[in-house]
Amino acid sequence: MRVKTILPIAMMLLFGALILAPAPAIPAEAIKLTYANFPPATTFPCVQMEHWAKEVEKRTGGKVKVQTFPGGTLLPAKNILDGVISGLADIGNFAMSYQPGRFPVSEAVDLPLGFTSARVASLTLYDLIEKYKPKEFEKVKILTLFTCPPTNFMTKTPVKSLADLKGMELRVAGTSSEIVKRLGGIPVAMPQSETPEAIQKGVVKGMVSSMEILQDFKFAAYTPYATVANLSVVTFAVVMNREKWNSLPADVKKVLDDMRREQALWTGNYVDGHVTEALAWSKKNHDHKVFFLSSADSAAVKSLLQPMVDDYVKRVSEQGFPGSQIVADVMAMKKKNEQNK
């Protein structure tokens, strides 16, 4: 009889304990972000993307997972910003130089101002956008900014002086077209993928670009000579959909904010080092040769290209921007970042 009484009581106590016991913790589902990029996976804009994605996952303890889409597999180059704004991708990297007139403040960094490294140009771009906070970025959250290394001449025949450029057909993109024209060459716009065949057929005698492509796209096989002139850079922005940003927890936002300038610096340092590697690879595999313009020719280049700066100041000033001040800020930031090595 006693056993019969104790048994129901024990069962009731056990049942009560199960009710009161805390439920086992259910692991939170990872935050998944899509990241659209347009160049091939092996190029530096995508290398920086993969580095950033791994760092974000690491620093959030796996709370954030980033799915990357190189080579325009999610969005094509000219649609990336609008695609991010509309939510087709959570994050996107795009070249501001590819959309003339849409980014008047950052265009100052695209000017031929004599940047000698991607590190300095990337930090200057970041600092400039942080100061002016242009309205064209109001619908997105900027995650980082960076540039390519300075563009130079890569040619089939040697360019040892400015005179050698006269009448030379060169493949160009963006601001390089105006630069080549003002220096006496003949700019020819064409997709980069068509350039090797165009060089082989004599349609163009070379190109203007940053020199990591000598290895990345094997252009050293077609352009055995390079001439360092430090002409211009191409500016890039990595942005996030504003609604997606607003939905993130505070700790994740802090991780991403803390990485913004750091990523600009990392990318600049990485691609500068990669240019050095590409030149060494080109010399070893293709006996590639590099020339430098004389101080007199370098001064002439600066003088010939100054009207591009003047035209920029006039154009953006007419749009209501402080053109002269923007250029002055770029030069001051450039000097500061050159000194802070």
CA–CA dist 125, 134 (Å, integer): 12
User: Kind of pairing, strands 64-69 and 186-189?
Assistant: unpaired
Rg (CA), the chain: 26
pLDDT at 178: 96
Cβ atoms of 77 and 99 within 8 Å: the answer is no
CA–CA dist 192, 190 (Å, integer): 6
What are the counts of helices (DSSP H) followed by strands (DSSP E) for the chain? 13, 11
The Cβ of residue 57 has, within 10 Å, a number of other Cβ atoms equal to 15
* Coil, helix or strand at residue 332: helix
CA–CA dist 151, 52 (Å, integer): 25
**Tell me, what amino acid is at 312?**
Y
Tokens at 46, concatenated:
């995508």
Cβ atoms of 46 and 69 within 8 Å: the answer is no
CA–CA dist 166, 299 (Å, integer): 17
Which residues sit opposite 228 in a β-bridge?
292
Cβ atoms of 106 and 134 within 8 Å: the answer is yes
Compute the mean pLDDT over every residue in the chain, rounded to the nearest whole number.
Answer: 93
pLDDT at 170: 98
Q: What is the pLDDT of residues 134-179, one digit of tens each?
A: 999 999 999 999 999 999 999 999 999 999 999 999 999 888 999 9
* Coil, helix or strand at residue 131: helix
User: Kind of pairing, strands 152-155 and 225-228?
Assistant: antiparallel
pLDDT at 23: 47
* Backbone dihedral angles phi then psi of residue 26, each to the nearest 5 degrees: -100, 120
Q: At what angle do helices 250-258 and 44-59 cross, to 10 degrees?
A: 140
CA–CA dist 32, 55 (Å, integer): 14
SS (HEC) of 222-267: CCCEEEECCCCCCEEEEEEEHHHHHHCCHHHHHHHHHCHHHHHHHH
* Coil, helix or strand at residue 210: coil
Tokens at 215, concatenated:
């290895």
Task: For the chain, list residues with pLDDT below 70.
Answer: 1-28
Domains and CATH numbers, the chain: 31-148+233-280 (3.40.190.170), 152-231+282-303 (3.40.190.10)
Name 304's Cβ contacts closer than 8 Å, sequence gap at least 6.
182, 183
* Coil, helix or strand at residue 36: strand
Residue identified by tokens 């105006």 is 178
